[in-house]
Amino acid sequence: MRGSPHDSWAHIYDLAYKRTFGPLYQGLTDTTLSLVEERLPPGSRIIDFGAGTGRLSLPLSERGFAVTSLEPSADMMDQLAAKEGKLQPRPKHPIRTIRAKMQDYPGTGEHDLALCVFTVLLYLLDEKSLNLAMAAAYNALKPGGQLLIDIPSERLFGGYTHKDEMLERTVRVNHERDQVFTYEEEIRVAGSDDNWAEYRDRFSIRCWDEMSVWAALRSAGFVAKEELTTTFAGSGSRYYLLEADPAAEL
């Protein structure tokens, strides 16, 4: 699966996101961690779909949760594993990593909470993948387990630029077909002696309408529990907490 989105710049992903989103980024992370800690006892099992470089997986593991991190990009996962290797003290439960796309994950029904946040939905390009991904989230959970998911809004499809003394970043999003867009990333990072390293990435993303996502969630067996969009204000996404309805298994 080499050649996944993010592979070419995984080692500067954290830097790029921190610089681009500023304090909002850490704020969203802190909000997610507090929410999880308020609702789940330590030791609970959490699966982080599209875990990236471990923005949530790592601090959740440090807080005593038993984390499964699923991520299709080998390079993003390498970053997560390298950071986990440096955690001190060692977390009680080592992170279990699975290199896969969410829609290909069979699910083993042992998790208390599934996370599918920070635009992971965008990478699912067709209805079949969306339905399989939501079924994977359901199958990963114990009966009554919960899913925290964000549905990115259209305003995230505008592209943006960022420039500071260390990092220059241009994101372009161009319409490809129907609800599918081409996402193009150009990043320059300052090195020594005024040399700048350049990174590029290009992949397709999809702008999902809420109705399609809700249809997939319901048909997978989820019931709505709470809307948390205001809790995650500034993210550009709508956030929801859902419950895996045990009756849907029958």
Ligand X SMILES: C[S@@+](CC[C@H](N)C(=O)[O-])C[C@H]1O[C@@H](n2cnc3c(N)ncnc32)[C@H](O)[C@@H]1O
Residues lying near ligand X in the complex (CB under 6 A):
4-6, 49-52, 55-56, 71-73, 76, 101-103, 117-120, 123-124
User: Which residue lies nearer to ligand X by CB, 34 or 196?
Assistant: 34
The nearest distance, CB 229 to ligand X, in angstroms, is: 16
Helices (H) and strands (E) in the chain, counts: 6, 11
Query: What is the Cα–Cα distance from 176 to 183, expressed in whole angstroms?
Result: 10
User: Which residue lies nearer to ligand X by CB, 4 or 97?
Assistant: 4
Q: How many residues does the chain have?
A: 250
User: Which residue lies nearer to ligand X by CB, 62 or 190?
Assistant: 62
The nearest distance, CB 56 to ligand X, in angstroms, is: 5
Strand partners of residue 151: 238
User: Which residue lies nearer to ligand X by CB, 14 or 143?
Assistant: 14
Two tokens, residue 112: 């208390």
User: Exposed, middle or buried, 40 (CB in 10 Å: 0-12/13-18/19+)?
Assistant: middle
The residues, any chain, with a CB within 8 Å of residue 231's CB and separated by 6 or more, are 31, 35, 239
List the one residue out of 103, 81, 104, 105 whose CA is nearest residue 94. 81
User: Which residue lies nearer to ligand X by CB, 144 or 200?
Assistant: 200
The nearest distance, CB 123 to ligand X, in angstroms, is: 3
The nearest distance, CB 76 to ligand X, in angstroms, is: 4
User: Which residue lies nearer to ligand X by CB, 95 or 117?
Assistant: 117
The nearest distance, CB 192 to ligand X, in angstroms, is: 29
Using left for φ > 0, alpha for ψ between -120 and 50, and beta otherwise, residue 212 falls in: alpha
The nearest distance, CB 132 to ligand X, in angstroms, is: 10
Asked if residue 243 lies in contact with residue 146, where contact means CB atoms within 8 angstroms, the answer is yes
Q: Hey, how many other C-beta atoms are within 10 angstroms of the C-beta on 210?
A: 11
